[in-house]
Amino acid sequence: MDIILGVRLQDCTLVATSKAATRGISVLKANDDKTRILNTHNLLAYTGEAGDTVQFAEYIQANIQLYLMRENDTELSPKATALFVRNQLATSLRSRKPYQVNVLIGGYDTKTDVPALSWIDYLGTHVELPYAAHGYAAFYCSSLFDRHYRKDMDLEAGLDLLRMCVKELEMRMPIDFKGVYVKVVGKDGVRAIEL
């Protein structure tokens, strides 16, 4: 029941992830960061099976960084990053023990100055979306996004939208998810921000 949300704004992408790490009925940790920075302009947020998530995220992170070193500091674009992750999950799906990890990739294409958001599930389903969520959070947030999202929103408007989502989730989700970490992926890279 982890929460991950993403919104593509005018000049950046917002990613929000719940702070609680839960196992069954217990909250084990209240400051869990469910994101990994892949390269300067790409952020991976993940949910799914306990052991698989971090293992997969760090595998992707390592490979993206390896690419960076091999290709003389050429960064993979958000689109290329997303296709790489999709390919890994789609290949894994038909292996003996598939990774059960769902991810959002928030990115910013420095060549075209366009922010990007990709929704990828453990099956390898990939879509680029203006706003996205995984799991139960999607049921509560999709309608809010549909109603209030505008494609020319600035950072402050995007944060307001996320605040609405978190408020709704706090009201509807059966357990306390300890709030969210919010990260902004923009022209200058990834930075954390207080909601």
Partner 1 sequence: MSDPSSINGGCAVAMVGKDCIAIACDLRLGNQSLSLANNFEKVFPFGDKTFLGLTGLASDVLTLKEDFRLKHNLYKLREEREIEPETLANLVSSSLYERRFGPYFVGPIVAGLHSKTNKPFICGFDLIGCIDFAKDFIVSGTASDQLYGMCESLYEPDLEPEDLFETISQALLNAVDRDALSGWGAVVYIVTKDKVVKRVLRTRQD
The contact set with partner 1 (CB under 8 A) reads: 86, 89-90, 93-94, 119, 121, 123-127, 129, 132, 138-139, 142
Least Å from the CB of residue 61 to partner 1? 22
Least Å from the CB of residue 28 to partner 1? 27
- Could you give the CA distance from residue 80 to residue 98 in angstroms, rounded to a whole number? 22
Pick the closer one to partner 1 by CB: 62 or 127.
127
Least Å from the CB of residue 181 to partner 1? 24
Pick the closer one to partner 1 by CB: 76 or 159.
76
What is the 8-class DSSP label of residue 70?
H
Pick the closer one to partner 1 by CB: 30 or 93.
93
The closest alpha carbon to 195, from 46, 49, 3, belongs to 3
Pick the closer one to partner 1 by CB: 76 or 190.
76
String of b and e for 111-141 (b: at least 16 CB within 10 Å)? eeeebbbbbbbbebebeeebbbbbeebeebb
Contacts of 96 (CB under 8 A, 6+ apart): none
Pick the closer one to partner 1 by CB: 34 or 86.
86
Compute, in degrees rounded to 10, the torsion defined by CA atoms 187, 118, 98, 31: 60
- Could you give the CA distance from residue 33 to residue 182 in angstroms, rounded to a whole number? 10
Least Å from the CB of residue 194 to partner 1? 29
The closest alpha carbon to 97, from 59, 51, 38, 64, belongs to 51
Least Å from the CB of residue 83 to partner 1? 9
